[in-house]
Amino acid sequence: MMTERDKIKALVRAFNQFEELQPGDSRYVNCAHERGTDHQSDQMEGLIRNSDEKTCQIFGGHRGGGKTTELLRLKQRLSDGDEPYLVSYCEADNYLDLSRVELADVLLAIIQQLWSDAETLSLSLEAQTVSGKVKGVLREIWHVLQATADLDSLTIKAALVDFKFQVKNSPDNRALVQQHLRHRTPNLIQAVNEIINDMHEEVERLGYQGLVIIVDNLDRMQSLEPGSSGRPLEIELFIDAADTLRSVACHTIYVVPTTLLHSTAVSAIGARFDAPPCVLPMVPVFTRDRKSDEPGIAKLVEIIERRMRYGVENVFDSPETMHRLVLASGGYVRNLIAMARQALSTVERLPATNDDIQNAIFADRDAATRAVSRPDLEAALREVAQTQNIQNIPAHLELLANFLVLEYYERERGYWYDIRPTLRDLYLTQT
């Protein structure tokens, strides 16, 4: 029989805000209708399935809002059915230091993921042409790094593992490689497409319709940093280099920083990619006129309930206590789960009380308040609270990037914005 402490520990484990739910996980709650985005997942899948030519799409939204969960479900849908696709899911941060990402880094990450997937499926890519292209790229990098490895004696897999070790965790090595490859993009694209073209023959033989590459977690790059051209890195990568990203020889989906979708460059995205960007907003807990959004609240309550193993009455002392937690989250799912975890981790006995929830809400408020560290950010918060809109100015984009402003969507009226609920009393009433 579980002790009270065992139950609390189990609940704290269940409320892990960084856990990505895999397809089929019973804790998943579909909030697409409440977000107003039930058309977007169909858009991404439909464009791939209904296109004779390869497509290139982008996907954005707040970190922790559920993008990875939705992409994993998209991957499963594309992989299933009578007309399945082979989906290569590349978590960029497995291969890259996201503090400074350039085009060459993304292409090298794709090469590494494709080779890993081919190994997993026992696809033979050691043909002279393909392995020669990849080894040619690696040989250039080895020369720049003055590495002593004998590439001719290594398999491509071993060489890529050594490359990842040499570059990802060494800022100096990474800078050398980026500088060397900056003007050698054609070589990298050729290597990527040689792998894809060779894989196409194999995947079609296995009954797949084609290949789809999803590059996730590029939204975590420090996008406001200037790139080599002096423009923000996100602009260099997704606008200036869009043609190169689109030249990858199969269907692709790239996850982009949310600030990119609120820059002046957003008007250029439609001309460079094959569809308008899909954006995953928050689950609304209030309407624009700040009345309770009951359907959204109900979905967020369901998210909590599916993570509880002992019944609502045994975890929180009342439905009102849980309701208060939901409202304080602003519909930001990661923050909802984090505050629930914070409250449960400090209790001595279940159920968690209103005071326990209040302490977690105050902790969130205090952390958010410390992030509002300049007068221009304070003024920007008050402006967003009053107008429910953001502008393409540094203070507004910084608030958005740091989750101090949250994004919502209505099908009829489009996107709107509000400040984090735990800050609302501080900044909505002040003038």
Per-residue pLDDT of 166-208, as tens digits, reads 777 777 877 888 887 888 888 889 989 988 988 888 888 889 9
pLDDT of residue 396: 94
> What is the largest distance, in Å, between two alpha-carbon atoms of the chain?
69
Note every long-range contact of 117-126, with CB atoms under 8 Å and residues 24 or more positions apart, other chains counting.
Answer: 117/86, 117/88, 118/195, 118/199, 118/202, 119/157, 121/86, 121/202, 121/206, 123/199, 123/202, 123/203, 124/202, 125/156, 125/195, 125/198, 125/199, 126/155, 126/156
Instruction: Output the CATH code of domain 38-280.
Output: 3.40.50
Amino acid found at 418 = D
Q: Is residue 225's pLDDT more than 80? A: no
- Over the stretch 246-285, which tens digit does the pLDDT of each residue have? 999 999 999 999 988 988 777 778 789 999 899 999 999 9
- Alpha carbon distances (Å) from 349 to 5, 363, 421: 8, 20, 28
Given pLDDT bands bounded at 50, 70 and 90, which one contains residue 149?
low
At a CB cut-off of 8 Å and minimum separation 6, what does 139 contact? Answer: 151
Neighbouring CB atoms inside 10 A of 2's CB total 11
- Token match 């990505």: residue? 20
Residue 120 or residue 253, greater confidence? 253
Across residues 72-89, what is the average pLDDT?
94
**Residue 367 and residue 376 in contact, taking contact as beta carbons nearer than 8 Å:** no
Q: Is residue 358's pLDDT more than 90? A: yes
Q: Is residue 51's pLDDT more than 80? A: yes
Determine what percent of the chain is predicted with pLDDT higher than 90.
58
Q: Is 310 helix (H, G, I), strand (E, B) or coil?
A: coil
Q: Is residue 130's pLDDT more than 60? A: no
Given pLDDT bands bounded at 50, 70 and 90, which one contains residue 128?
very low
Encoded tokens for 15: 């409320």
- Alpha carbon distances (Å) from 192 to 53, 145, 183, 185, 220: 18, 22, 16, 11, 23
Given pLDDT bands bounded at 50, 70 and 90, which one contains residue 146?
low
pLDDT of residue 399: 94
Mean residue pLDDT of the chain comes to 88
- Over the stretch 315-333, which tens digit does the pLDDT of each residue have? 999 999 999 999 999 999 9
- Token match 């290569």: residue? 88
Across residues 34-56, what is the average pLDDT?
90
pLDDT of residue 313: 61
Given pLDDT bands bounded at 50, 70 and 90, which one contains residue 221?
confident
Across residues 363-377, what is the average pLDDT?
94
Across residues 336-355, what is the average pLDDT?
94
Pairwise CA distance, residues 32 & 69, whole Å: 12
**Residue 397 and residue 382 in contact, taking contact as beta carbons nearer than 8 Å:** no
**Residue 301 and residue 322 in contact, taking contact as beta carbons nearer than 8 Å:** yes
Pairwise CA distance, residues 194 & 186, whole Å: 12
Q: Is residue 59's pLDDT more than 90? A: yes
**Residue 96 and residue 168 in contact, taking contact as beta carbons nearer than 8 Å:** yes
Query: Which residue, among 375, 384, 376, 373, has the nearest Cα to 420 in the 3D structure?
Result: 384
Across residues 106-133, what is the average pLDDT?
80
**Residue 98 and residue 295 in contact, taking contact as beta carbons nearer than 8 Å:** no
Q: Is 61 exposed, middle or buried (0-12, 13-18, 19+ CB in 10 A)?
A: buried
Across residues 12-37, what is the average pLDDT?
93
pLDDT of residue 327: 96
Structural domain boundaries in the chain = 1-32+281-431, 38-280
At a CB cut-off of 8 Å and minimum separation 6, what does 128 contact? Answer: none
pTM: 0.91
pLDDT of residue 227: 67
At a CB cut-off of 8 Å and minimum separation 6, what does 36 contact? Answer: 281, 409, 410, 411
Distance of CA 358 to the CA centre of its chain: 30
Residue 157 or residue 310, greater confidence? 157
